[in-house]
């Protein structure tokens, strides 16, 4: 079970949803993430970047120690833990902000909860590790359930596929006894989808509205934002902000980004106009 202050952080994060665009800052402690791999591998660098994300206004910091970019090399739980142990506890103790752990491994999620995270961000929506749902329930964590596929099938109706996937993930969550109030859905932009399917997922977020759960979108710096035929790294900050504003219009509530300050500024204008 959570320490009381971690329960408070979890509930603080959840209480923001629907009141404002919630900003999840990205901290990749990886050598091979697509845009910032290797930058924050040392505990000192990770700490400094975590502090900067908080100073820039992030509502929660998502820590990842295994790259999930297309073509990534999976790593064992032992290696994830070796990357986490030197820095995660120091981060959660020094910053009064909720943290999430980007992992699909129950063992890593359990240890991260012991080190102070409040949320599991599972890119396989409880469907990769059969122990994940029970681990989240036992630790009292909130969870992001992301849609994913082992490969791309261009013939799919991607919205129907997302719904089928989420039905299964929510069945697993219900079986473990996780309250729906602690669950968030993520359409998995850039995961197991071609360019057209990624754009269709973003355009049809409202098709997930009947689940009654918040939607998180993670498009930050992804190559699908580049012009067709452009270099894969032609994603630019303005493209990310444009995609997130469109996602907000379509119903997204939480935004996983590398650049919190710029998004907060953009959302202030967006919110003023929307109101």
* pTM, entire model: 0.92
pLDDT > 50? residue 37: no
Summarize pLDDT for 128-155 with one digit per residue, the tens.
Answer: 999 999 999 999 999 999 999 999 999 9
Catalytic residue status for 19: no
Q: Beta-carbon neighbour count of residue 252 at 10 Å?
A: 26
Extents of the domains making up the chain = 4-274
Pairing mode, strands 22-28 and 254-257? parallel
pLDDT of residue 1 exceeding 70: no
In DSSP terms, 121 is beta-bridged to: 102, 144
Q: Annotated catalytic residue: which of 39, 256, 268, 275?
A: 256
Question: Where is mean pLDDT largest: 35-39, 94-98, 227-231?
Answer: 94-98
Q: Which of the four CATH numbers 1.10.10.10, 3.90.850.10, 3.20.20.20, 3.30.70.3190 does domain 4-274 have?
A: 3.20.20.20
The pair of structure tokens assigned to 61 is 């910091």
Among 9, 110, 221, 222, the active-site one is 222
| Backbone dihedral angles phi then psi of residue 68, each to the nearest 5 degrees | -115, 20
> What is the band of 36 on the pLDDT scale with cuts at 50, 70, 90?
very low
The closest alpha carbon to 187, from 211, 155, 149, 215, belongs to 215
- The string of pLDDT tens digits covering residues 206-248 is 999 999 999 999 999 888 887 776 665 556 789 999 999 999 9
pLDDT at 76: 87
Q: Rounded CA gap, 24 and 255, in Å?
A: 6
Q: Which of 122, 203, 131 is nearest to 165 (CA)?
A: 122
- In the annotation, is 222 catalytic? yes
């Amino acid at each position: 079970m959570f320490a009381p202050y971690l329960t408070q952080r979890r509930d603080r994060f959840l209480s923001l949803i629907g009141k404002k665009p919630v900003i999840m800052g990205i901290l990749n402690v990886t050598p091979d993430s697509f845009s910032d791999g290797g930058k924050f591998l040392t505990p000192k660098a990770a700490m400094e970047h975590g502090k900067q994300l908080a100073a820039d206004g992030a509502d929660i910091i998502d820590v990842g120690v295994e790259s999930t970019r297309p073509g990534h090399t999976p790593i064992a739980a032992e290696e994830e833990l070796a990357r986490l142990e030197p820095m995660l506890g120091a981060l959660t103790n020094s910053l009064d902000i909720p943290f999430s752990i980007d992992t699909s491994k129950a063992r890593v999620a359990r240890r991260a909860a012991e080190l102070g995270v409040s949320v599991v961000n599972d890119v396989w929506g409880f469907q990769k590790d059969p122990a994940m749902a029970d681990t989240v329930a036992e630790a009292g964590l909130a969870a992001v359930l992301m849609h994913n596929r082992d490969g791309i099938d261009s013939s799919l109706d991607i919205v129907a596929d997302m719904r089928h996937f989420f039905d299964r993930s929510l069945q697993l969550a219900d079986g473990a006894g996780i309250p729906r109030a602690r669950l968030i859905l993520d359409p998995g932009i850039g995961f197991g989808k071609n360019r057209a399917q990624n754009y269709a997922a973003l355009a049809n977020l409202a098709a997930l509205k009947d689940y009654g759960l918040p939607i998180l979108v993670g498009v930050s710096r992804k190559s699908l934002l580049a012009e067709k035929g452009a270099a894969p790294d032609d994603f630019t900050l303005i493209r990310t902000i444009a995609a997130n504003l469109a996602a907000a219009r379509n119903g997204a509530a939480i935004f996983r980004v590398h650049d919190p300050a710029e998004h907060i500024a953009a959302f202030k204008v967006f919110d003023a106009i929307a109101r």
